[in-house]
Amino acid sequence: MAWKPAPAELSELIDSALAGFDCQKKKMFGYPAYFVNGNMFTGLHEDRVILRLSQQDREAILAGGKKAVQFEPMPGRPMKQYVVVLEPVYKDPVLFHEWLDRSFKYAASLPAKEKR
């Protein structure tokens, strides 16, 4: 199964939203991904925005109704710490920034990945 490319407008949206964050942009599986201390905290997969969140934040956003769903890059293969934020979140600049900040802080709290 071939994955779809990320829409340019979604790539521009996330680039713009992360302008004030001290992070590194890389490509993961051909999609933009953003890292702090070597830990990915957000990115795109096809036409979806994904966030890495603490268990408490994942539970909060998933329970929040129509804000997020569990991230499964392939059916039946969920990535435990990641959610897909839905359009009502990423189209609201204040709400999106809040969740990006939570994701960034969580990834920054993890042990730094050593460079190979």
SS3 80: coil
Confidence band for 65, pLDDT divided at 50, 70 and 90:
confident
CB 93 within 8 A of CB 85: no
Where do the structural domains in the chain lie, given as residue ranges?
Answer: 8-109
Task: pLDDT band for 1, please (50, 70, 90 cuts).
Answer: low
Reported as a single tens digit per residue, the pLDDT across 9-61 is 999 999 999 999 999 999 998 899 999 999 999 999 999 999 999 999 999 99
Q: Check: CATH 3.90.1150.30 for 8-109? A: yes
The whole-model pTM stands at 0.93
Q: Are 14 and 44 in contact (CB under 8 A)?
A: yes
What is residue 115's predicted lDDT score, i.e. its pLDDT?
A: 77
Find all residues with CB under 8 Å of 109, minimum gap 6, and list them. none
Mean per-residue pLDDT of the chain: 94
Helix (H, G, I), strand (E, B) or coil at 91: coil
CA dist., res. 73 & res. 89, Å (int): 20
DSSP structural state of residue 86: P
pLDDT value at residue 2: 74
